[in-house]
Structure 1
Amino acid sequence: MKTVKQIQNEARDWLFGAAAPLWSTTGVLEDGMFAEALHHDGSIMRGPRRLRVQARQIYSFCEIGRLGWDGPWRKIVEDALPAFVSRGVSEEGVFIHTYDDKGDVSNKSLDLYNQAFGLFALAHAGNALSKPELFALAGTVMDRIDADWARPEGGYWEGVLTPCPPYRQNPHMHMFEAATALYRFTNDPRWGAIAGALSLLFRSKFHDRATGAVTEYFDQSWNPLNDETGSIVEPGHCLEWAWLFGTNAKSQDEIDTSDGLSAFARRYGLCGRRGVAINEVSLDGAVINNNARLWPQTERLKAAADSFRRQNAIDSEQEIIAAYEGLAKYLVTDIAGLWHDKMKPDGTFLDEPAPASSFYHIVCGLSELLQLEI
């Protein structure tokens, strides 16, 4: 088995030597915006551009720059910001949904997921570029969300793209991620309070304490739906929440919550034969969807890195290596720097372009790995 040092070197070589050069050139469009996907022959997939992808790529290049990549990450982010800020925020003061293939706004439909990633991008760009005006814009967007989207049951209205019910935990997880980033970079107590409220919502409503898992779908009062969908668990989301709680813990309860989420995912959500985290199981551990997206592999790596950082345990070190080796399967492509997104139960991959949206997951996962001191 490889050592953590060895996989750190492999990860750095792939990220700095292949992925960042490819996505900073071919993956950047003529107008400075980002491509939605690249075909496996290295060509651009043309079409509508989602705001969430623009936001995720802004974060990704900010983070790659912070990690020490010596490429033009700063110019890439600065060139992407005008369309993101000027056209990406509507006259109503919140983030849009999509641009067309020319970069003009094509769909202003409201969605909480887009608001979360818009705020997340403003946090990282504001910090990386030392632009406090981006933090101020985040505050202005949050003013509208607080005024128009806050729900008396806790959390936020989710917009019109995914009508409720069911109500979902997932966009709230990303709102928590954005709020913790903004609090870390600004030390503004407002963002700390938002993160705290979302942490409490998770622990009081989303979290199934009997199993340690997080379910996906709820009624208006945040009770799990009383049908088969109410017991759906995505191991990747268990691991993502585990990392968020582990790295932002303010209490022992949050640490215990993190460890319980990881334990459930590792017990029921891993396919030993393929060495990967699968898409869906039920609360009793039965497999619902045995396919395996790329992103749960990065969340597994993040949760393992956090566990090692807090506990310095040999089983966490072994889990880091296993998680990375699972992720590495997706990164074996004809053109280095691309990836596969969907693994089928037989271990082969769906033949489709490499989605830019996955770069955020990969960068965040490899960042946690690369920052480990072993």
Structure 2
Amino acid sequence: MTVHDLPGAENLPLVAVRNRFARWLFEDALPFWASTGCDGIASNPAALGAQECLTLQGTPALPPFKRVRVQARQLFVFSWAALKGWQPAAQRAESIFRFLLNAHRSDGRWVKLLARDGAVLDDSADLYDIAFVLFALAWYGRVDRTGQAVELARQTLVWLGQTMALPNGGFMNTRPANDAWRQQNPHMHLLEAVLALHETTGDAADLAQAHALYALFSQHFMDERTGTLGEYFGPDWQPAAGAEGQWCEPGHHFEWVWLLQAYARQSGVDTAAQAARLYHFAHQYGVDVQTALVRDAVARDGQILKPTFRLWVQGEALRGALCHDPQDKAGWATRMASNLLDRYFTGCPTGTWVDQLDAQGAPAASQIPSSSLYHIVTAYDALDQAARACVLPA
């Protein structure tokens, strides 16, 4: 037994897999990503932020750019780890935060792309990136008590409302605008971000945007007839024409199951029926019953569109499964967590992962993206909370 283990219920499968996950995360993954996974000088490895991605050999790939969303995700990871008591994390979070500030403009906007030295490469605004900046600031605000992170988050929300909001609900994908389909995905992560901000501050005003995003989900994103979650939409929020309008991602269904529960907890709104519909569809059509692996994409009628298995999808499925069955009586969460440990965290450099499996379950990744650690940490956090509830029931 290590300091990361939960004692007293080692015979419970959910607790046993949680203990394995904790050892891998705290003893292998976090130390690796706090050193090799950060970019800079030897005396301060995080001086130039987090690595964008690694080669399959576990060495920095060093592309000439850094996506702001990746820096934000790693800021969240190390903020979370600091709150869990992992000592090196606070310094890493601070350094990544300082690097991330290179992307901030005085009017409240955040740019999309930085060079490795922090210079701006693409000054457009991207809703997906901004959602993760908000999410990271909300979490970093729990580590850095100066109030700067929360102030920046609120300033960013004001800027979004003034410059990217659309009259029929939601926000532009990008500014300057493009002619792509409107997307639910960045709005989903924006909801995640404002829920995190409200949890940080406890201020009801910080929950206001969450109500509007939940209304957008209820009115447009979720199809009540099929219990499916759309990904792409036209300007009027009608499902996109053609194949894009049929495209469904089980991972996002499971992610919304978790988000709906979090929103219900913080707002008092009953979302249980919607979460159950989403879970049922994703589990019925997205999960391979033999392996418990979750597919990347299916159609609204359940037809498999993309039979591969991304890592992030497995993490979100784990969170959704634990929301649906907190004690894991059916065993799906244990199987999904075991898949992460045995199929994705093995056959690769220690502390890293295989980011995708093909239809036969064989590795099919060409690099190790830093961005996946966000999904790993949120999946572990849900597993840890569920396991603790098993050991110390309320």
TM bin, normalised by shorter chain, reads over 0.9
Number of the residue aligned with 1:44: 60
Q: Decide whether aligned partners of structure 1 residues 111 and 235 sit closer, same or farther in structure 2, where only a CA change above 3 A counts.
A: same
**Residue 107 of structure 1 pairs with residue 122 of structure 2:** yes
Find the residue that maps to 1:205 and give its secondary structure. Answer: helix
Structure 1 residues 228-269: Cα deviation after superposition (integer angstroms, max 9, x where no partner): 211111000000011111122145641211121111110000
**Residue 14 of structure 1 pairs with residue 28 of structure 2:** no
| C-alpha displacement of 1:131 | 3.0
Q: Partner letter of residue 267 of structure 1?
A: Q
The correspondence for 2:333, drawn from 281, 304, 320, is: 320
**Residue 286 of structure 1 pairs with residue 303 of structure 2:** yes
Residue range with higher mean Cα deviation, 278-287 or 99-108:
99-108
* Residues 165 and 220 in structure 1, CA contact (< 8 A), matched pair in contact too: no
Structure 1 residues 89-144: Cα deviation after superposition (integer angstroms, max 9, x where no partner): 12442111111122222111211011101111110001122231211111111111
CA distance in 2: counterparts of 1:101 and 1:268, whole angstroms: 41
Number of the residue aligned with 1:129: 144
Number of the residue aligned with 2:349: 335
**TM-score by structure 2 length?**
0.89
Find the residue that maps to 2:99 and give its secondary structure. Answer: helix
* Residues 112 and 159 in structure 1, CA contact (< 8 A), matched pair in contact too: yes
**Residue 74 of structure 1 pairs with residue 87 of structure 2:** no
| C-alpha displacement of 1:313 | 5.9
CA distance in 2: counterparts of 1:354 and 1:334, whole angstroms: 9
Number of the residue aligned with 1:204: 219
**Residue 356 of structure 1 pairs with residue 370 of structure 2:** yes
Q: Partner letter of residue 374 of structure 2?
A: Y
Structure 1 residues 296-346: Cα deviation after superposition (integer angstroms, max 9, x where no partner): 10001111222233xx4612xx11112112222111134211101111112
Q: Partner letter of residue 82 of structure 1?
A: R
| C-alpha displacement of 1:193 | 1.1
* Residues 246 and 307 in structure 1, CA contact (< 8 A), matched pair in contact too: no
Number of the residue aligned with 2:155: 140
Q: Decide whether aligned partners of structure 1 residues 103 and 131 sit closer, same or farther in structure 2, where only a CA change above 3 A counts.
A: same
* Residues 297 and 327 in structure 1, CA contact (< 8 A), matched pair in contact too: yes
Structure 1 residues 42-98: Cα deviation after superposition (integer angstroms, max 9, x where no partner): 3111021111000000001111222333x310010111111212x111244211111
Number of the residue aligned with 1:33: 49
Q: After superposition, where does 1:207-218 map in structure 2 within 5 Å? A: 207-218=222-233
CA distance in 1: counterparts of 2:369 and 2:251, whole angstroms: 18
* Residues 2 and 321 in structure 1, CA contact (< 8 A), matched pair in contact too: no
* Residues 98 and 106 in structure 1, CA contact (< 8 A), matched pair in contact too: yes
Number of the residue aligned with 1:24: 34
Q: Decide whether aligned partners of structure 1 residues 363 and 356 sit closer, same or farther in structure 2, where only a CA change above 3 A counts.
A: same
Residue range with higher mean Cα deviation, 43-52 or 100-109:
100-109
* Residues 263 and 269 in structure 2, CA contact (< 8 A), matched pair in contact too: no
Q: Decide whether aligned partners of structure 1 residues 173 and 263 sit closer, same or farther in structure 2, where only a CA change above 3 A counts.
A: same
Q: Partner letter of residue 24 of structure 1?
A: A
| C-alpha displacement of 1:215 | 1.1
Number of the residue aligned with 2:13: 3
CA distance in 2: counterparts of 1:111 and 1:210, whole angstroms: 31
* Equivalent residue pairs, number: 368
Find the residue that maps to 2:305 and give its secondary structure. Answer: strand
CA distance in 2: counterparts of 1:196 and 1:353, whole angstroms: 38
Q: After superposition, where does 1:139-218 map in structure 2 within 5 Å? A: 139-160=154-175, 163-218=178-233
Find the residue that maps to 1:106 and give its secondary structure. Answer: strand
The correspondence for 2:252, drawn from 214, 218, 237, is: 237
Give every structure 1 segment of 4 or more consecutive aligned residues whose post-TM-superposition deviation is greater than 6 Å.
none
**TM-score by structure 1 length?**
0.94
